[in-house]
Amino acid sequence: MAFRPNAAARSGIMDDGINHFNGATITIFTGTQPGEGGGSHSDTTLSSGTLPSPAFGAATAGAAGPATSWSLSNSATGTAGWARITQGSAILDLDVGTTGADLNLDTLSLEDGGSVAVSGGSITLPGNDA
């Protein structure tokens, strides 16, 4: 039998799960996100920082976005391709863009010594509502 949470269940699952990443480390990389969450890669680290607490707002219909804007310090120059959030052994790989992504950045062109802002986005737990 398939797992099919409705919108309310997805929101509860998302809130409980995403709160695990409060205060976690976020790293933005060049390249393409690995096919598996937490998969190995050889992409260049462009930017990193620590997430605020809370990092994400309350979920609605199984979707949550950043609770506030975050600013990250850049350590290299390049084009942002994806992000990884880690908290202990828990890993969340996300796509990045300037609109419509898991994490929306103010720019994808990062410069060494500068900073990048995460200003929005939406992470969605899929489901099958009636």
Regarding pTM above 0.85, the answer is yes
The per-residue pLDDT for 1 is 58
Q: How far apart, in whole angstroms, are the C-alpha atoms of residue 69 and residue 130? A: 34
Farthest CA pair distance, the chain: 51
> Mind listing the pLDDT tens digit for each residue in 69-115?
889 999 999 999 999 999 999 999 999 999 999 999 999 999 999 99
Q: Residues 122, 124, 126, CA angle at the centre, nearest 5°?
A: 160
Residue 5 pLDDT grade (very low, low, confident, very high; cuts 50, 70, 90): confident
Q: Residues 117, 52: contact at Cβ < 8 Å? A: no
The per-residue pLDDT for 129 is 61
